[in-house]
Structure 1
Amino acid sequence: MRKARRRRRLSMTSLIDVIFLLLLFFMLSSTFTRFAEVDLDAAGSGAQVAADTRPLFLQLSPDRLSLNGADTALEDLPATLAERIAGAEAETATPLIIALRGEVTAQRLTDVLVALRGITGLRATVLGAG
Structure 2
Amino acid sequence: MSAVLSLASAPALSTARRKNNISLTALIDVVFILLMFFMLTSTFSKEQSIGLKKSQGVAAPSSSTAPQLLLAYKDGSFAYFNNSLTALSSLAELNTLASKDQGVNLLPAAELRVQDIVILFEQLKSNGFMHVSLGEPLPEASKRDE
| TM-score of the aligned structures, taking structure 1 as reference length | 0.55
User: What CA RMSD, in Å, does the superposition of the two structures yield over aligned residues?
Assistant: 3.8
Q: Which one has the largest radius of gyration?
A: 2
Q: Is it true that 1:52 corresponds to 2:69 in the alignment?
A: no
Secondary structure at 2:131 match in 1: strand
Listed one character per residue, the Cα deviations across residues 16-65 of structure 1 (whole Å, up to 9, x for unaligned) are 6325314414644876333432123477xxxxx97422333322233323
- Figure out how many residues of one structure are paired with residues of the other and give that number: 107
| TM-score of the aligned structures, taking structure 2 as reference length | 0.50
Instruction: Give, in whole Å, the separation in 1 of the partners of 2:23 and 2:96.
Output: 70
Percent identical pairs in the alignment equals: 17
Displaced runs of 4 or more, over 6 A: none
Instruction: Give, in whole Å, the separation in 1 of the partners of 2:109 and 2:49.
Output: 24
Q: Is it true that 1:110 corresponds to 2:124 in the alignment?
A: no
Ranges in structure 2 where 5+ consecutive residues have no aligned partner: 1-21, 56-60, 81-85, 140-146
Q: Is it true that 1:124 corresponds to 2:132 in the alignment?
A: yes
Cα 1:98–1:121, aligned 2, differ >3 Å: closer, same or farther?
closer
Ranges in structure 1 where 5+ consecutive residues have no aligned partner: 1-10, 44-48
Conserved 8 A contact 2:79-2:87: yes
Structure showing greater relative contact order (alpha-carbon pairs closer than 8 Å, 6 or more residues apart)? 1
Q: Is it true that 1:83 corresponds to 2:96 in the alignment?
A: yes
